[in-house]
Structure 1
Amino acid sequence: MNTIKTILCLVLVGVFTSCSQKENTSITIKNTLDVDKSFETVELSKDDLKVEDLTTVGIRDVKSGDLQVTQTVDNDGDGVVDQILFQPKVSANSESEFEVVTIKGEEKPSSIEYCFSRFVPERTDDYTWENDRVAFRVYGPTAQKMIEDNVPGGTLSSGVDPWLKKVDYPIINKWYKEYVDGTGSYHEDTGEGLDNFHVGISRGAGGIAVKVDTTYYFSKNYVKWRTITTGPLRTSFSLEYGDWKAGESTIKESKIISLDKGSNFSKFETTIIGSDNISAGLTLHEKDGVVNSNKENGWVSYWQPHADSELGTAIIALPSTFLDSETYNVDAKDLSNAYANLKVERNTVVYYSGFGWKESGQFKNNQEWENYLNDFSKKKQTPLIVKINN
């Protein structure tokens, strides 16, 4: 009997020890740059944390004791959460410690859904996305068909259209509602910003092209969309395009676009079949701005007068992907763009595209904008180091 009791006690000790170890999984996050980081998103999977269900996972700052704002993501749409996201604050050249805890839904810190995107059937078939700093939209097959059928109100473009917001709260639903019910227009600034950025058939701020000889070719509107996630830290979605021709080559294009809280740049993870290089472009509008590039930090930028303000747009990629840049200046309407020429590896290329509007108060001038580009690039080149202590 005593032997049985002893064995039972040992089993219980082992169980409790196992539970304790699982409950106390810790995460060490190291920032090796000499600048603070606060808007870099850390992605953790079930395998990383050795858990079966990420919906009950909380992440606590060991020093402050505060639960972090998190977001769970089902990347493949199968109904099972694949990742949990959070944005730790880590000072320059330092480490921060976090612990994984089990929480109930009501214990999760509340936060505004800053990062939002959706399909917009009430405005033809836009797909629009935003965070606390910027907003964008692209155009779908119905808008394309309207142009092809000479129906007013259509748009034929695979360019990316910036929406110049200057508030940190979400505006997409509000602006479209005012558009639909006639109580306002997002083409007029009533204090939140406006859409006065002309795209046409240009690349806007981040549309791609493939160059053959001296000509740039590009797709028409997207043909299929899927929302992946929205929430306080990230929105992401996928777009597919019909096959298109670049000279004699047939190009197959699809992409996952994501936008994280605190960033002026959307991430474009693009799948390309049919070309070893692509060119991500920025429209030159009236050609009265300044094109600059920095190969070391992998960016090309266009800072321009815009209405009664100023505006910067840019493409950023890792230097290993960034081949060079070109200012393509022609007489044809909307075909003049500044291009970042990027290398496609294993049918994939990743780049970031975004903008900074002087009226938003985020950037006073071109120098501040380019400082941000260099800072953004350095942070992408030197990401946070995440160590999980299971």
Structure 2
Amino acid sequence: MSTLKTPVLVTAFMFASVLTANLHAQESITITVKNKLGFNRNEVVALTNKDIAGFLKGKKEADIRIKNTETNALDPLQWIDYDGDKKNDELLFVANVKANGTAKYMLVNSGSTPALESKITTYSRFVPERTDDYTWENDKVAFRTYGPDAQQRTEQKRENGTLSSGIDIWLKRTSESVINKWYKGYLTDPMFYHKDRGEGYDPYHVGASRGTGGSGIWEKDSLLVSKNFISYKTIATGPLRTVFELTYAPFSPYEVKETKRISLDLGSNFSKFEVSHTAKKSVPNYATGITLHQNEGKPEILTKDGIFAYHETIDGTYLGEGLVIAPNTIKDAFVNKSKTKDQSNLIVVLKPEAKVTYYAGFVWEKSGQGANSADWNAMLKKQAEVIANPLQVTIK
């Protein structure tokens, strides 16, 4: 996520009016992006419509383009309407900024220039063809979780049931979208996406565990968790970001109602979870976690850094799962091993705020993104630094 810094207005209202009028007349504005960290960054940047309202006035959003001033080439962009009012709230583009450097981009009004179509994308959708999964992906990773039909099938002891609010991961080794292809294959072969045909596969078991990033409440040495989601809302899919919401029925003695807004940016190994709660009784905490499967892997807990990792081997290849969380939101973190199937998790206990935010992701050796625990730990450390030090954006 990026922090937006607009130029400081140090004069009176009259000057502000002149500045706004000038923006209206401009056919382009400059966006400067600053990176304070010591490594190169390639991240999605969000400009709110409010911050560029002057420039947009009198122009069609469909005519707006983003240009890299260094290459003079157009880059992909994406508009997002978060609240469903048919008015866009943010304009997204990807900023490529060198270590401790700056990069400049231009928003231009150029409807005569064809918009750039990205060959890779983010994507998410509800999947009724396999009961009712909700699945999401980008060019690096893919995830899914489970809906009410899958829950009912389990409770009624019918086939294809899944009772879990845990987060499943799909191991990709292609930058292309696989969701539609793999589910199409499932229709004729239920084991289709469990076999690697060169694009990756799903060997990951979730069950009643937290998978990678499932949530709950920790109480009396037990994790209280919701059942499957009861409704979904797809907010955005596109070349740079997919966003959706899942809602859950009240759970636990606290009657917690949970809504998860999940987003995944292009180029990122991490889904962002923004989990909102309401409860009828005061809740001691909220929690998230990572399944330990058969307790054969290596968990790592770095609470002061907000980094939590699990290193394991699946089918002979390395898989690293992880959580990155702002340290000031954490109450505790520990490994909970259990003799009960799917109940062994690395647990991170969070303060009982109305909304908690964390990032959950993974790397798979065959993806070519990371080959071992050292690679994954470095990726987790970078993600923590990125969260703590968002790109700084100035509009002129």
TM-score (ref. length: structure 2): 0.90
AA of the residue aligned to 2:349: N
1:46 aligns to 2:53 (yes or no): no
> Which residue of 2 is the match for residue 252 of structure 1?
257
Gaps of 5+ in 2: 1-17
1:134 aligns to 2:141 (yes or no): yes
- Alignment of structure 1 residues 175-186 onto 2, 5 Å: 175-182=182-189, 185-186=192-193
> Which residue of 2 is the match for residue 350 of structure 1?
357
Post-superposition shift, 1:99? 1.8
Note if contact 2:218-2:349 (Cα within 8 Å) is conserved in structure 1.
no
1:338 aligns to 2:346 (yes or no): yes
AA of the residue aligned to 1:256: R
Note if contact 2:233-2:246 (Cα within 8 Å) is conserved in structure 1.
yes
Gap change, CA 1:125 and 1:97, over 3 Å in 2 = same
* Higher mean C-alpha deviation, range 75-84 or range 134-143: 75-84
Post-superposition shift, 1:75? 0.9
Post-superposition shift, 1:80? 1.9
**For residues 258-303 of structure 1, what are the alpha-carbon distances to aligned partners after superposition, in whole Å with 9 as ceiling and x for unaligned?**
1111111100011022335211111111101101021232011110
Give RMSD over aligned pairs.
1.8
1:221 aligns to 2:225 (yes or no): no
Note if contact 1:119-1:128 (Cα within 8 Å) is conserved in structure 2.
yes
Post-superposition shift, 1:22? 2.9
> Which residue of 2 is the match for residue 210 of structure 1?
217
Aligned partners of 2:68 and 2:249: how far apart in 1?
Answer: 46
Post-superposition shift, 1:182? 3.4
TM-score (ref. length: structure 1): 0.91
Aligned partner of 2:40 among 16, 36, 40:
36
Aligned partners of 1:140 and 1:95: how far apart in 2?
Answer: 44
AA of the residue aligned to 1:26: T
Note if contact 1:316-1:353 (Cα within 8 Å) is conserved in structure 2.
yes
1:87 aligns to 2:90 (yes or no): no
> Which residue of 2 is the match for residue 159 of structure 1?
166
Aligned partners of 1:33 and 1:227: how far apart in 2?
Answer: 33
Aligned partner of 2:125 among 118, 123, 132:
118
Gap change, CA 1:209 and 1:28, over 3 Å in 2 = same
**For residues 304-357 of structure 1, what are the alpha-carbon distances to aligned partners after superposition, in whole Å with 9 as ceiling and x for unaligned?**
121221211111111222333110111111011001222243x10100001111
Aligned partner of 1:18 among 9, 15, 22:
22
Aligned partners of 1:270 and 1:116: how far apart in 2?
Answer: 20
- What SS does structure 2 have at the residue aligned with 1:359? helix
Aligned partner of 1:302 among 306, 310, 313:
310
Which structure has the bigger radius of gyration?
A: 1
Post-superposition shift, 1:41? 1.4
- What SS does structure 2 have at the residue aligned with 1:47? coil
> Which residue of 2 is the match for residue 5 of structure 1?
none
> Which residue of 2 is the match for residue 67 of structure 1?
74
1:267 aligns to 2:272 (yes or no): yes
Post-superposition shift, 1:165? 1.0
Aligned partners of 2:32 and 2:181: how far apart in 1?
Answer: 40
> Which residue of 1 is the match for residue 249 of structure 2?
242
Aligned partners of 2:23 and 2:367: how far apart in 1?
Answer: 49
User: In percent, how many aligned pairs have the same letter?
Assistant: 40
Post-superposition shift, 1:113? 4.5
**For residues 236-276 of structure 1, what are the alpha-carbon distances to aligned partners after superposition, in whole Å with 9 as ceiling and x for unaligned?**
1100000111xx31211001101111111100011022335
Note if contact 1:252-1:273 (Cα within 8 Å) is conserved in structure 2.
yes
- What SS does structure 1 have at the residue aligned with 2:320? strand
Gap change, CA 1:388 and 1:276, over 3 Å in 2 = farther
Aligned partners of 1:106 and 1:204: how far apart in 2?
Answer: 45
Note if contact 1:329-1:336 (Cα within 8 Å) is conserved in structure 2.
yes
Post-superposition shift, 1:106? 5.5
- What SS does structure 2 have at the residue aligned with 1:108? coil
Note if contact 1:41-1:260 (Cα within 8 Å) is conserved in structure 2.
yes
Aligned partner of 1:282 among 259, 283, 290:
290
Aligned partners of 1:285 and 1:223: how far apart in 2?
Answer: 26
Gaps of 5+ in 1: 1-13
Aligned partners of 1:305 and 1:47: how far apart in 2?
Answer: 47
